[in-house]
A and B are shown apart, each in its own frame.
Chain A
């Protein structure tokens, strides 16, 4: 054993920051982020390039209606939440009855994502379309495959704009799993699934409810969740305070569904949504709506939009 190893052996991994220090540090960071947003938005106001079409007057009407909702108070908010809960629980029921896509041996379940995410610099934001095709093999020991077209960007693995990579358990970019959960760990009862996800909260996000929402939608948007677990997660979503639903929202490829989202007041009202097919419970897309004038986006404009499609295929690239 050499001296460097000896010194390394004195490393103390048992030290942990106190919850108070962690909370204070996070609050300081969020405060700086909020300050930066305000400064940046002011500086960029005259430079901004709007890359998504402005929302229609109808959408502006929705925004006005939302303002009205806030003024009207909890009664209307509760009605919205009740509607969203009803939509989600209905979708959960439909999901259980749906004959789900199941890959046979030697086949793959393929999740195809067409994403339009903005790439921003000091002059504003431009749209960049990416394609992500994830091939999950039926054989749990076989390698997953990711085909990724980065659009106008360079890939992080090879520097090329198109990359194909393989890894067991979908560990394409390091030790983290592509879907950060073992599907069979998800309780099949909605209430139990909600308790399960809430129990894993460790202080992240702007609020516990937001974090629960994000962790559930992170799982669902993979497009790879089996129907029983998907139904439980949709039911769990219906239990998160502040969740609302918007009918007839089109994904990036024009397929319509119901957008399920939350307005997070601690995040300047930004709204993250998943778009689901109410008949199958499958996630068919995502979108993010701005809650404030930031980085060239006006209030209630689309900041990002995706389309997700799940199919069974015989081969992977």
Chain B
């Protein structure tokens, strides 16, 4: 099977080959969008992402073998027009998120805070994250990209990704009432799959 960059290169002379990328990555784009926006809007984002990608394929960096970061970057930018929908989705998701996060965070916080209040604080913190920080955080958390791939997706240096994640992390910690900050040193992903998936 040809790698993504070969497929994109080949699509310059045989455009129909580009559909191969859709077959490979459409479910991944959908999953990322669906978790942020819900299934209905994710259908549209999935479709639009590949239309935009096809139009922009001549600008693709052919030295990058995996096209998924590029596609998730396009999807992320497309999702910005769904900002109201995302806010609603965030509210709906809070309970589920809290059920999974809160027990661990309570441990971290030394049980200084009750679950209900922590849930409210976290949800608020997540909603209030600046757009670019939230995008970076969610590409990491739900897009399953490492730092370098996020840098490719958002077209910024890796150092910028690291600082944005640190900033988002600080806000989550502050919301959880954890004051001790650790310096982020991890440049890549360590967990290959979510533990609660």
Q: Hey, which bits of chain A sit against chain B, CB under 8 A?
A: 1-18, 21-22, 24-26, 28-30, 32-33, 36-37, 40, 117-122, 125, 154, 156, 159, 173-174, 176-177, 180, 202-206, 218, 267-268, 270, 288, 294-295, 303
Residue of B nearest to A4 (CB): B169
Q: Among B22, B51, B65, B105, point to the contact of A6 (Cβ < 8 A).
A: B105
Q: Indicate if the CB atoms of B43 and A9 lie closer than 8 Å.
A: no
Q: Indicate if the CB atoms of B142 and A156 lie closer than 8 Å.
A: no
A-B contact pairs, 10 of them (CB 8 A): A6-B101, A11-B141, A13-B193, A15-B31, A15-B39, A17-B46, A24-B43, A25-B22, A33-B15, A174-B3
Q: Indicate if the CB atoms of B100 and A10 lie closer than 8 Å.
A: yes
Q: Indicate if the CB atoms of B23 and A203 lie closer than 8 Å.
A: yes
Chain A min CB distance to B12 (Å) = 4
Q: Indicate if the CB atoms of A14 and B63 lie closer than 8 Å.
A: no
Residues of A within 8 A of B30 (CB): 15-17, 21
- C-alpha gap A13/B141 in the complex (Å): 12
The A-contacting residues of B in range 13-71, CB under 8 angstroms, are: 13-16, 18-20, 22-23, 26-27, 30-31, 34-35, 39, 42-43, 46-47, 50-51, 54-55, 58, 62-63, 65-66
Q: Indicate if the CB atoms of B43 and A21 lie closer than 8 Å.
A: yes
> Given A15-B39, A17-B42, A303-B13, A8 and B191 touching (CB < 8 A)?
yes
Q: Indicate if the CB atoms of B65 and A25 lie closer than 8 Å.
A: no
Ordered nearest first, which 4 A-B pairs have the shortest CB separation?
A: A25-B47, A17-B30, A11-B194, A120-B12
> Given A8-B194, A30-B19, A118-B13, A156 and B43 touching (CB < 8 A)?
no
Residue of B nearest to A7 (CB): B141
Residues of B within 8 A of A7 (CB): 97, 101, 137, 141, 172
> Given A4-B141, A118-B13, A17 and B26 touching (CB < 8 A)?
yes
Q: Indicate if the CB atoms of A36 and B14 lie closer than 8 Å.
A: no
Q: Indicate if the CB atoms of A3 and B176 lie closer than 8 Å.
A: yes
Is B96 part of the contact surface with A, judged by Cβ < 8 Å?
yes
Residues of B within 8 A of A8 (CB): 140-142, 144, 191, 194
- C-alpha gap A143/B104 in the complex (Å): 44
Q: Indicate if the CB atoms of B26 and A22 lie closer than 8 Å.
A: yes
Q: What does DSSP make chain B's interface, helix, strand, loop or mixed?
A: helix
Q: Indicate if the CB atoms of A15 and B34 lie closer than 8 Å.
A: yes
Residues of A within 8 A of B88 (CB): none
Chain A min CB distance to B108 (Å) = 8
- C-alpha gap A268/B15 in the complex (Å): 11
Q: Indicate if the CB atoms of B96 and A10 lie closer than 8 Å.
A: yes
Residues of B within 8 A of A10 (CB): 96-97, 100-101, 141-142, 194, 196
Q: Among B1, B50, B55, B169, point to the contact of A180 (Cβ < 8 A).
A: B1
> Given A17-B43, A28-B47, A176-B3, A12 and B14 touching (CB < 8 A)?
no
Chain B min CB distance to A28 (Å) = 5
Residues of A within 8 A of B140 (CB): 4, 8
- C-alpha gap A37/B19 in the complex (Å): 14
Residue of B nearest to A295 (CB): B13
- C-alpha gap A13/B195 in the complex (Å): 11
Residues of A within 8 A of B26 (CB): 17, 22, 25-26
**Known contacts A9-B101, A268-B16; 20 further A-B pairs (Cβ under 8 A):** A1-B104, A6-B104, A11-B197, A12-B197, A16-B31, A17-B43, A21-B47, A24-B47, A26-B26, A33-B16, A33-B18, A33-B54, A36-B54, A120-B12, A122-B58, A156-B3, A173-B3, A173-B6, A267-B16, A303-B13
Q: Among B1, B50, B191, B194, point to the contact of A218 (Cβ < 8 A).
A: B1
Q: Among A3, A26, A125, A303, point to the contact of B105 (Cβ < 8 A).
A: A3
Q: Indicate if the CB atoms of B197 and A14 lie closer than 8 Å.
A: yes
Is B5 part of the contact surface with A, judged by Cβ < 8 Å?
yes
- C-alpha gap A7/B35 in the complex (Å): 12
Residues of A within 8 A of B168 (CB): 4
- C-alpha gap A295/B111 in the complex (Å): 66
- C-alpha gap A303/B196 in the complex (Å): 49
- C-alpha gap A12/B89 in the complex (Å): 14
